Amino acid sequence: MLQRTLTGLPKITLQKPQHECGIFGVYFPGEDVSRLTFYGLYALQHRGQESVGIAVSKNAKIKAHKKMGFVREFFDQDITRLKGDIAVGHTRYSNTGGSSLINAQPAIYGNIAIAENGNLVNPEALRRKLAKFGYHPSYDKNGKCSSDGELIAQAIHSQKGDGIVEKIKNAAARDLKGAYSLTILADNALIGVKDPLGFWPLCLGKLNNKGYALASESCALDVIGAKYLRELEPGEVLTIDKNGTRSHFLPNTPKRQSARCSFDINYFLRPDSLLATGARAYEVREKLGQVLARKNRLDADVVIEIPNSGQFGAIGYAQASGIPLKVGFIKNSYIGRTFISPDQRIRQLGVKLKLNPIPRVIAGKKIILVDDSIVRGTSSRQITEQLFKIGAKEVHWRSTFPQVTNPCFFGIDIGTNDELISASKTPRQVAKELGATSVVFNTLEDFLEAVGLNPKTACTGCITGVYPINLPHRERNKFALEVAE
């Protein structure tokens, strides 16, 4: 049952898919690498809001500091104590393991510090294997470490090999099954790693002809004044040290095949971030909105974005359709996830502070609502009911992303089959479930063409149910490592 505000309108809770994290690294001897990393992580805050951490290396000695909360929780005294020539940083959403300080990254084991974006599909088996060689999870007063990051650090540390690159290659070939991008401190070097299929983004930038930076997205390079050079290749192991940069490749990297996450491009990338194609994310999203309008023409009065995820799709839709774009909701960006009051009436008022509709734009109108996706449908249902309560004549949903019919196993928390509204429903049935006049999704073919990918270069498992990696099982428990040994 929908909770209701004091005005009698339904409570809107914006339930969006969550990502795992943002990663960053900088090699810049003689400069304040910890502060550069802080600014880089600030630009990547949208990729994870549960914890933040920075590790620095000076003469191969690693020092780290981690905190729960936002990047801004890192204060000057935290940064100034981290002196070094190389740094890696991490901002986290807990896709594997609970939200606790023990799971915050960078993960450190021996002389290796790792910041990870992604998800292993074999964590329980890997932990059991490592335990046989004496590698066990770290513990604090709240429990044991249950994140992939520490497992990856242990797996690399456990390998035989001539230097860190050989150990990384051996770990990837024998133990690391899944989707991951990494920034690593080891052997007086900064190292960037992409899994053999290159699921998650990781780009390289140059600082003043002396330093280099690695980041999940180019927006973080922009913030610190680094020049974007390129996106790392699938399976690439890029080392950065006093001798410059050198590229190596993991032994199991396939030729002419990759699995770039489709959903990440559609939703998680900051709009000003660059894709490997050279386009900005906002340009691709505008194009997706234009495709929706051209292929599904509709007579309506107004186009409205769902803040802020539908912003550029709505712009593109309005451009192509000629239907005016209006602001239909006011979103308060300053209301956090933990807006709590002991008074129920005040809590209900707080809901309208988060997303408040504008009746004059809505009442008596045929409305097209544009969003980046409809996954669980919870918030879409609530928004639809609220608009009809205000007096909308028709409410038509348009999604720039195709129907999400299957869960993600590689780093995005988009629920199980039972939670996905499109798992067993046609668009017409989805519309009925939402109480909407109609619902239209971009087709997979139109989506891939607009983004500049094809089935051989993209992961579309959440759309098709066909995954680029063989999965040990089709059920995923993010807390599995908290019980496995």
* pTM for the predicted model, two decimal places: 0.88
* Interval 170-216: pLDDT, tens: 999 999 999 999 999 999 999 999 999 999 999 999 998 889 999 99
Residue 32's SS3 state is coil
pLDDT of residue 367: 98
Q: Are 32 and 427 in contact (CB under 8 A)?
A: no
Non-local (6+) Cβ contacts of 154 within 8 A are 109, 130, 135
Q: Are 312 and 286 in contact (CB under 8 A)?
A: yes
Domains of the chain: which residue ranges? 18-259, 283-464
Q: Which of 146, 157, 137 is nearest to 62 (CA)?
A: 157
User: Among 28-37, 252-261, 403-412, 413-422, where is mean pLDDT lowest?
Assistant: 413-422
pLDDT of residue 418: 87
What are the residue numbers of the active site? Answer: 21
* Token code pair at residue 327: 């602001």
Sign of CA dihedral 354, 359, 360, 364: positive
* Interval 260-297: pLDDT, tens: 999 999 988 999 999 999 999 999 999 999 999 999 99
* Token code pair at residue 284: 């691709």
What does the alpha-carbon distance between residue 138 and residue 136 come to, in Å, rounded to a whole number? 7
Non-local (6+) Cβ contacts of 432 within 8 A are none
pLDDT of residue 348: 40
What does the alpha-carbon distance between residue 450 and residue 476 come to, in Å, rounded to a whole number? 31
* Token code pair at residue 334: 């300053």
pLDDT band at 346; cut points 50, 70, 90: very low
98 vs 255, residue with greater confidence: 255
Non-local (6+) Cβ contacts of 250 within 8 A are 168, 169, 172, 173, 193, 195, 196, 235, 236, 237
DSSP 6-41: TTSPBP------EE-EEEEEEE-TTS-HHHHHHHHH
What does the alpha-carbon distance between residue 282 and residue 289 come to, in Å, rounded to a whole number? 11
What does the alpha-carbon distance between residue 201 and residue 186 come to, in Å, rounded to a whole number? 21
Q: Is the peptide bond before 308 cis (omega within 30 degrees of 0)?
A: yes
Non-local (6+) Cβ contacts of 338 within 8 A are none
Statement: residue 232 has pLDDT above 70: yes
Q: Which fold has domain 283-464?
A: Rossmann fold (3.40.50)
C-alpha distances (whole Å) from 62 to each of 58, 105, 185, 410 are 7, 13, 8, 29
* Interval 1-54: pLDDT, tens: 333 333 444 445 455 655 568 999 999 999 999 999 999 999 999 998 888 999
The H or E element that residue 68 is part of is strand 61-68
Fill in the amino acid letter for 346.
I
* Interval 467-480: pLDDT, tens: 999 887 655 555 45
List the end-to-end C-alpha distance of the chain, in Å, as a whole number. 40
* Token code pair at residue 414: 């988009």
Average pLDDT over the chain, rounded to an integer = 87
Of the CATH numbers 3.90.1170.30, 2.60.120.460, 3.40.50.2300, 3.60.20.10, which one belongs to the domain with range 18-259?
3.60.20.10
* Token code pair at residue 375: 């996954």
Sign of CA dihedral 290, 295, 297, 302: negative
Statement: residue 354 has pLDDT above 80: no
Statement: residue 342 has pLDDT above 50: no
Statement: residue 155 has pLDDT above 90: yes
DSSP 256-322: T---EEHHIIIIIS-TTPBPTTS-BHHHHHHHHHHHHHHHS----SEEEE-TTTTHHHHHHHHHHH-
Q: Which of 241, 285, 259, 206 is nearest to 450 (CA)?
A: 285
What does the alpha-carbon distance between residue 469 and residue 472 come to, in Å, rounded to a whole number? 9
* Token code pair at residue 484: 């496995």
**Strand partners for 117:** 181
Sign of CA dihedral 136, 141, 143, 145: negative
What does the alpha-carbon distance between residue 165 and residue 351 come to, in Å, rounded to a whole number? 50
